[in-house]
Amino acid sequence: MKKYEVAGIDTPCVDLAVNVDALPKPNKGTAINQLSWQGGGKVASGMVASARLGAKCAILAAVGSDDYGQFCIKDFERHGIDVSGSKVREGKTTSLSIVLSDKETNGRSIVFHRGTTDSLTEDELDNEILENCQWFFVARLAGSALEATRRAKAAGAKVIIDADSYSEDTMKNIGLVDAFVGSEFFYNGLFQDDHYEENCKKVCAMGPSIVVFTLGAKGCVGYSEEGGFFELPSFDIVVQDTVGAGDVFHGAYVVGLVRGLSAKEAARLATGVSCIKCTRIGGRAGIPDWDTVQKYIQTGEIDYTEIDKRVEFYGKKLQL
């Protein structure tokens, strides 16, 4: 039995989530409805989703020694994620994204300040974690992330990728991937039609045993060698903010696989988690725990008791 059910690698950031009625026109202003300081990063937020659903997790990460970096590490620890494989770089800064969500379009706009922290080097990769995880979670297959994936795979781990935007590196190394979960943007980079079943099978033939594409409000499609093709709608929700929706989908999806769900059942779980997250601003405050999402899937009701405590916590200040 491996020590960790899910481990991942990322260079986390901080998101300042801001919700307004409508984005202001040039030389105009608007009032803020809600403001929240939360952690960001594709794998980083996905790992928090995995931990929220009860998985034993570890993160390989590099952050700066500034307040933002301290927040990133503390937030992993608050969720029970092992950070022993992470590095705090003295004198370096952590990236900040200001995420503007608006009620008018249900969309989001992002402005960001890139920090000076470098990603982990190959020499800094924690082999104890890589050799002791059931699933390894990545968002890119290049540099040290690719090396980490190779080491985890060699030690017997399965690999899930958050394939957000089309990447030649991902396609070149897709044979390392067991569960390929891509966005509609990646799909559009590969294909020019909506022949989902045929195209999912094409990606599956490249190496992964499971292929899923998320399609935003339309839900998701997928194919697995065991269960065949499936197509699932999204849930009907009132959206406050879609930031992090794909990240937490991936984190929930891998937990579904860890728990023995089929590819389709895991997609249903991940869709539920992602939809609940979208009812609150930011990428993490609205992530439900296992019992909350199970109740939602079965009854359509969301218990916000614990979620809104998290919303209040993140809305106070940058929590160090």
Query: How does residue 75 score in pLDDT terms, banded at 50, 70 and 90?
Result: very high
CB 263 within 8 A of CB 224: yes
The yes-or-no verdict on residue 49 having pLDDT over 90 is yes
- Band (pLDDT 50/70/90 cuts) for residue 107 is confident
Mean pLDDT throughout 161-179?
97
Query: Looking at residues 55-84, what average pLDDT do you find?
Result: 98
pLDDT bucket at 105, cuts 50 / 70 / 90: confident
Q: Which of 104-108, 199-203, 248-252, 312-316 has the lowest mean pLDDT?
A: 104-108
Instruction: Give the pLDDT confidence score for residue 1 in this predicted structure.
Output: 84
Q: Would you say residue 320 has pLDDT above 90?
A: no
The DSSP output letter for 26 is T
SS3 235: coil
* 3-state secondary structure string across 54-118: CCCEEEEEEEECCHHHHHHHHHHHHCCCECCCCEEECCCCCCEEEEEEECCCCEEEEEEECCCCC
The per-residue pLDDT for 9 is 98
- For residue 240, is pLDDT > 90? no
**Domain ranges within the chain, ordered by starting residue:** 4-12+42-92+117-316
Strand bridging mode 57-64 / 87-89 = parallel
pLDDT at residue 106 tops 90:
no
> pLDDT at residue 159 above 90?
yes
Amino acid symbol at 212: V
Task: Write down the pLDDT at residue 316.
Answer: 87
Question: What are phi and psi for residue 114, nearest 5 degrees?
Answer: -75, 130
| Integer Cα distance of 264 and 232 in angstroms | 8
Residues of the chain with pLDDT > 70, as a percent, come to: 100
pLDDT 10s digits, 291-310: 999 999 999 999 999 999 99
Report H helices in the chain: 42-52, 67-78, 127-130, 143-154, 168-172, 184-190, 196-204, 245-258, 263-277, 290-299, 305-316
Give me the percent of the chain exceeding a pLDDT of 90. Answer: 92
Backbone angles phi, psi at 15, to 5 degrees: -110, 125
DSSP state letter for 119: P
Residue 147 has what pLDDT? 98
Homologous superfamily assigned to 4-12+42-92+117-316: Ribokinase (3.40.1190.20)
Condensed to tens digits (0 to 9), the pLDDT of residues 249-269 reads 999 999 999 999 999 999 999
User: Which pLDDT tens digit goes with each residue over 187-209?
Assistant: 999 999 999 999 999 999 999 99
pLDDT at 131: 98
